[in-house]
């Protein structure tokens, strides 16, 4: 009988009332129950054997008609046999009582032994569970790589590794397709833009309707071009294809993003509240991508704001040199639903409009921010403000503070 087979083990634990709790608890209870059953059976057999031996020892031979001397001898023998039977019964009783006490003590000890053995048996499963939880879409190259004999646990680990391999291939193929398609589509866009320029540059007056149509087509082509660029950035970020790592001042990147959009802020009548920038907020990452993060969150705060609203940017360092750096961008606006706000990090998710005809971006801005933040081992938190608007918090690992003593390039925020 195979106690370890899942159907029989599940049936036994169900009959014994052991379905609740963790698998380790159920295995421990099962081990203790089996030990008590086998120990009780042994005690019962020992009691039956002892009682049988006592009865057989109490049987005395038939005296018959014997001489007086022989009768006295037989009486003496009977007394000795009776004493021997009493001693045997007492000894058997003591042995049974001692065995019962020993069984109780061993039952207590078996709880600890069963817990230890169950832990040893389930340890490979715990290792597999922890390793599987650590693997995400950005770390599909990792494998469980469970060693040991070729048993059921190793077969399960190898099956999961094969599944991870297939998932990695599918993700890579999808990202490669997006990158290649975005790159290839740029050529016809360039051709279409050149055709418009040639048509408008011909001698003679250009009809007003043609000029209006050409301007509209150029605006749409620019929008598609920005969309393709966003696709490329998103694909390259998810692939981890960036090499321009440097120690960066996150606050300077945020200030540069605000300064570069001063005209857009003024055109919408927005007020930039006091910026709280911590000079010790240094991070280690890609200059191009982290600049894109700062640009995207500021663009989002401007585009989805009310006319005459406000924007607030804060950069602060938390903890010691091994702590974190956070970029917080808040903006006014409509009161938003938090459940829908949490989905804005997904591609083409917008609030209050579908993906066609908003005129306020491609719907990839915050998804690019999420991908870049994750590639830098950070977190993105989107919160709807109770008074309306959105608060975007980007948290990144903080690098050591040695860069703060170095000179700062105010244009890029990179330590020299």
In angstroms, the CA 296 to CA 234 distance is 13
List the chain pLDDT tens, one digit each, 416 residues.
334 444 444 454 444 444 445 778 888 888 888 888 888 887 777 777 766 655 554 444 454 445 568 777 778 887 787 877 777 777 777 777 877 887 888 888 888 888 888 888 888 888 888 877 777 666 677 777 777 777 777 788 888 888 888 877 777 776 677 667 766 777 787 888 888 888 777 777 778 887 788 888 887 787 777 777 767 776 666 666 566 778 899 989 999 999 999 999 999 999 998 778 887 789 988 888 898 899 989 999 998 899 999 999 999 887 665 688 999 999 998 888 888 887 787 766 665 544 334 445 556 778 888 888 888 889 999 999 998 899 999 999 988 644 443 433 444 444 44
Q: How far apart are CA 314 and CA 358, in angstroms?
A: 29
218 sits in the region (left: phi over 0; alpha: psi -120 to 50; else beta) called alpha
Residues 6 or more apart from 305 whose CB is under 8 A from it?
268, 270, 311, 331, 332, 333, 389
pTM of the model: 0.53
* DSSP letter assigned to residue 314: E
Residue whose token pair is 């421990």: 28
Q: What letter does residue 361 receive in the DSSP assignment?
A: -
Q: Say if CB 391 and CB 323 are below 8 A apart.
A: no
Compute the radius of gyration of the chain from its Cα atoms.
40
Cα–Cα distance for residue pair 240/234, rounded to 1 Å: 10
Q: How far apart are CA 305 and CA 297, in angstroms?
A: 12
Do 274 and 328 form a contact (C-beta atoms < 8 A)? no
């Amino acid at each position: 009988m195979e106690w370890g087979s899942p159907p029989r083990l599940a049936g036994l634990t169900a009959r014994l009332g052991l379905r609740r709790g963790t698998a380790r608890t159920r295995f421990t209870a099962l081990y203790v129950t089996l030990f008590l059953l086998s120990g009780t059976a042994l005690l019962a057999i020992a009691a039956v054997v002892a009682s049988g031996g006592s009865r057989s020892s109490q049987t005395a031979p038939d005296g018959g008609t014997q001489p007086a001397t022989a009768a006295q001898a037989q009486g003496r023998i009977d007394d000795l046999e009776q004493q021997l039977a009493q001693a045997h019964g007492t000894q058997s009783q003591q042995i049974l009582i001692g065995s019962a006490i020993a069984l109780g003590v061993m039952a207590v000890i078996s709880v600890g032994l069963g817990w230890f053995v169950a832990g040893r048996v389930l340890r490979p499963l715990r290792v597999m569970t922890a390793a599987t939880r650590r693997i995400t879409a950005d770390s599909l190259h990792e494998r469980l790589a469970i060693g040991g004999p070729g048993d059921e646990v190793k077969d399960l680990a190898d099956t999961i590794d094969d599944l991870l391999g297939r998932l990695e291939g599918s993700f890579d193929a999808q990202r490669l397709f997006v990158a290649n398609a975005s790159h290839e589509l740029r050529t016809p866009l360039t051709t279409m833009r050149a055709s418009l320029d040639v048509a408008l540059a011909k001698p003679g007056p250009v009809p007003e309707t043609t000029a209006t149509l050409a301007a509209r087509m150029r605006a749409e082509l620019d929008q598609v071009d920005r969309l393709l660029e966003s696709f490329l950035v998103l694909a390259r970020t998810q692939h981890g294809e960036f090499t321009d790592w440097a120690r960066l001042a996150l606050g300077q990147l945020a200030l540069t993003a605000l300064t570069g959009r001063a005209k857009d802020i003024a055109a919408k009548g927005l007020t930039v509240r006091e910026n709280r920038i911590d000079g010790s907020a240094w991070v280690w990452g890609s200059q191009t991508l982290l600049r894109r993060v700062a640009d995207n969150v500021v663009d989002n705060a401007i585009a989805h704001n009310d006319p005459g609203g406000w924007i607030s940017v804060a950069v602060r360092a938390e903890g010691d040199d091994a702590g974190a750096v956070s970029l917080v961008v808040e903006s006014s606006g409509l009161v938003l639903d938090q459940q829908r706000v949490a989905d804005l990090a997904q591609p083409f998710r917008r609030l209050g409009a579908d993906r066609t005809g908003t005129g306020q971006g491609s719907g990839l801005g915050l998804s690019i921010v999420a991908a870049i933040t994750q590639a830098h081992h950070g977190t993105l938190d989107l919160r709807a403000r109770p008074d309306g608007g959105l608060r975007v918090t980007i948290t990144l690992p903080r690098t050591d503070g040695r860069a703060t003593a170095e000179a700062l390039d105010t244009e890029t925020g990179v330590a020299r």
